[in-house]
């Protein structure tokens, strides 16, 4: 849907790139909670599908970069795949997709361990409310 805003001139290519980067950061964050939940499995499917389709790259320093054109194509093809599986009621196809894709590879596991070792928080809790404000 964000690309429709781009097509209509409401956002720029730079904003689209920022969106894709934030989208991938959200995938990393979700994976850090674990892949046993439905959200974790779904995000691993996305991560592995995007990786297989060249939507992002990882350099030797462990930094990830988005390829905008390939990310766009991967989002489109993954969406088509998921919607087709759902539309056809293909439970076996969904099961196969999840089983093949909900695995954290060695490289990703090492990168997630680096985040943990750096004490990078998985979630941020904001202290808010009347008591915090002294009201």
Residue 135 lies in a domain: no
Residue 107 lies in a domain: yes
The rounded distance, in Å, linking the Cα atoms of 88 and 3 is 26
The rounded distance, in Å, linking the Cα atoms of 108 and 46 is 13
What percent of the chain clears pLDDT 70, i.e. is strictly above it? 100
Average pLDDT on 9-25 reads 93
Residue 79 lies in a domain: yes
Residue 132 lies in a domain: no
The rounded distance, in Å, linking the Cα atoms of 62 and 69 is 22
CA-closest candidate to residue 51, choices 111, 9, 94, 4: 111
pTM of the model: 0.84
What percent of the chain clears pLDDT 90, i.e. is strictly above it? 64
Give pLDDT, residue 116: 86
Q: What is the pLDDT of residues 57-87, one digit of tens each?
A: 999 999 999 999 999 999 999 999 999 999 9
Q: What is the pLDDT of residues 30-53, one digit of tens each?
A: 888 888 888 889 999 999 999 999
Task: Count up the domains in the chain and report the number.
Answer: 1
Residue 56 lies in a domain: yes
Residue 120 confidence (pLDDT) above 90: no
Domain that holds residue 74: 2-121
Give pLDDT, residue 43: 93
């Amino acid at each position: 849907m964000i690309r429709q805003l781009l097509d209509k001139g409401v956002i720029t290519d730079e904003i689209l790139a920022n969106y894709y980067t934030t989208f991938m950061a959200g995938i990393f964050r979700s994976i850090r909670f674990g892949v046993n939940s439905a959200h974790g499995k779904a995000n691993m499917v996305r991560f592995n599908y995007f990786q297989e389709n060249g939507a992002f790259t990882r350099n030797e320093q462990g930094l990830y970069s988005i390829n905008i054109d390939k990310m766009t194509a991967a989002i489109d093809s993954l969406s088509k795949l998921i919607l087709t599986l759902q539309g056809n009621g293909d439970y076996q196809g969904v099961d196969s997709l999840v089983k093949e894709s909900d695995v954290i590879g060695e490289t990703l596991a090492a990168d997630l361990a680096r985040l943990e070792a750096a004490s990078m928080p998985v979630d941020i809790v904001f202290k808010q409310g009347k008591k915090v404000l002294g009201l």
